[in-house]
A and B are shown apart, each in its own frame.
Chain A
């Protein structure tokens, strides 16, 4: 088997499992919806118009959903003894990492495809459709970064005593640069027409975000051997 077919096999397993139970997607979706209801009550001063904070609120919802999903995705593996099976199989461990990143990335993206339009209808009063390509690029790069570092940290935490505690404690500071840049991108695009200076800032944020994705992915890919398994 080539590397690609190995990655695809593990990825397919995750996708089939999710299609059968739909456990993660439904809980992540409900979580995002509930967060939006909370936003409505927390910021009720200016009714239903959160255009100015749109990017920040969007990513608050996504980052916690991502943590929820990441915890779930490895709890499955641990409970069923699947992780041991994966470790016993003659597959390079970095490939396990790659496929896990891909599956987490796909789940997060599915949630976003459903919830971003809803969020926009609920809270945003500006039509940002003309900038949709840049917007999607920002979301895409943000997801990739969260999935890369999140998968690494979750694997690190899964074999320790404080499994559920460590994922946010270690994950959030590491994800924060990604979150920050992603909020810069989404927030500026959602908040209103982009002036030349804001556009420059957004483009720069896209560049740094891409750099972060690469660095995080390469570092985690290289170190994954050491954090998986006993």
Chain B
């Protein structure tokens, strides 16, 4: 039995090189923002990629949870039918509400198109879930491990994000913390995923633990989505850079941002590979101990 860490070094080196490139871009190649907040705007190049990466990490928890439950489920077909029915009813209600509001002449959700969000969500679920499912089948990987590791790394990125954000808030808004919708909802996401680990530690049977935490991992992602759309839906002072029609930044800024984005994703890849390997090895040790009788 050997320690297999496929792709770990590749991701690690990529992350290192891209981070260096991103930092050079941040401090030397991008113009100083002069209109509003000045030098503190530089946080954008790593703050936003970190936030996106934490959302991706929690997304791994979501997909791992779905894959686990799909594999675990005995009468998947019946449940799938019922879930489809429920979703169909919910969609009909949502559309009915929308039409009612339109007829009454009330603006829906600040001009944000709910249909677009639903469409993106359903397409990504439809394409990603089978991929994960087949992955789970082919590799016989325990998807519960992936889910918990995703939440762990998401929490790590989230803590860095909060510390960074607090420093930025002090400089720009002159206070350490404000109860802005974005800040508040992100703090809640962190608390929720910390609770996820409290739940995991309070169940003894491995199978039961995996099933419960998978259910929670799916529901928790609703809070993550709420954080993503909170600045656009509620009144918030948190800056919104990208909109659908307008990239919002100059090209050198955009390139630096994309480099930093890839750097963070590569770092995440390296972390998740090494962490999953460690957890798998730990499980193997437990199995061996059981076989030895004690």
Nearest CB of A to B83, in Å: 4
Is the Cβ of A160 less than 8 Å from the Cβ of B226?
A: no
Is the Cβ of B87 less than 8 Å from the Cβ of A226?
A: no
Q: Is A90 an interface residue (CB 8 A)?
A: no
Q: Is B90 an interface residue (CB 8 A)?
A: yes
**Interfacial residues of chain B within 78-125, with CB under 8 A of chain A in the complex:** 79, 82-83, 86-87, 89-90, 93-94, 97, 101, 106-110, 114
Is the Cβ of A156 less than 8 Å from the Cβ of B216?
A: yes
Is the Cβ of A170 less than 8 Å from the Cβ of B101?
A: no
Q: Is A34 an interface residue (CB 8 A)?
A: no
Give the bracket for the number of chain B residues in contact with chain A.
35 or more
- Contact pick for A174, options B83, B86, B108, B192, CB 8 Å: B192
Which label, helix, strand, loop or mixed, suits the secondary structure of the B interface?
A: helix
Cα separation A214 to B70 with both chains bound (whole Å): 23
Q: Is A94 an interface residue (CB 8 A)?
A: yes
Looking at B24-32, B34-42, B154-162, B206-214, the stretch in contact with chain A turns out to be B206-214
Q: A residues within 8 A CB of B199?
A: 156-157, 160, 166, 170
Q: A residues within 8 A CB of B94?
A: 211, 214
Looking at B13-21, B142-150, B217-225, the stretch in contact with chain A turns out to be B217-225
Query: Knowing A160-B199, A166-B202 touch, does A226 contact B233 (C-beta < 8 A)?
Result: no
- Contact pick for A161, options B184, B203, B219, CB 8 Å: B203
Q: B residues within 8 A CB of A56?
A: none
Which label, helix, strand, loop or mixed, suits the secondary structure of the A interface?
A: helix
- Contact pick for A230, options B188, B195, B208, CB 8 Å: B208
Is the Cβ of A160 less than 8 Å from the Cβ of B202?
A: yes
Q: B residues within 8 A CB of A225?
A: 73, 79
Tally A-B pairs: CB < 8 A. Answer: 111
Q: A residues within 8 A CB of B250?
A: none
Is the Cβ of A173 less than 8 Å from the Cβ of B188?
A: yes
Q: A residues within 8 A CB of B184?
A: 180
Is the Cβ of B191 less than 8 Å from the Cβ of A173?
A: yes
Q: Is B185 an interface residue (CB 8 A)?
A: yes
Is the Cβ of A207 less than 8 Å from the Cβ of B97?
A: yes
Cα separation A155 to B73 with both chains bound (whole Å): 19
Is the Cβ of B222 less than 8 Å from the Cβ of A215?
A: yes
Is the Cβ of A220 less than 8 Å from the Cβ of B202?
A: no
Query: Knowing A174-B192, A207-B108, A214-B94 touch, does A201 contact B235 (C-beta < 8 A)?
Result: yes
Q: Is B198 an interface residue (CB 8 A)?
A: yes
Q: Is A26 an interface residue (CB 8 A)?
A: no
Q: A residues within 8 A CB of B114?
A: 211
Query: Knowing A214-B90, A226-B211 touch, does A166 contact B198 (C-beta < 8 A)?
Result: yes
Nearest CB of A to B64, in Å: 14
Residue ranges of B at the interface with A (Cβ–Cβ < 8 Å): 69, 72-73, 79, 82-83, 86-87, 89-90, 93-94, 97, 101, 106-110, 114, 184-185, 188-189, 191-192, 195-196, 198-199, 202-204, 208, 211-212, 214-216, 218-220, 222-223, 226, 233-235
Other A-B pairs, 12, CB within 8 Å; known A157-B199, A227-B211: A152-B219, A160-B199, A166-B198, A170-B198, A174-B223, A201-B235, A208-B109, A208-B233, A222-B79, A222-B82, A223-B215, A226-B211
User: 9 tightest CB-CB pairs across the interface, nearest first?
Assistant: A173-B192, A222-B83, A162-B202, A160-B202, A161-B202, A223-B215, A169-B195, A173-B188, A170-B195
Residue pairs across A and B with Cβ atoms less than 8 A apart, 6 shown, are: A174-B222, A204-B107, A214-B90, A214-B94, A218-B90, A223-B69
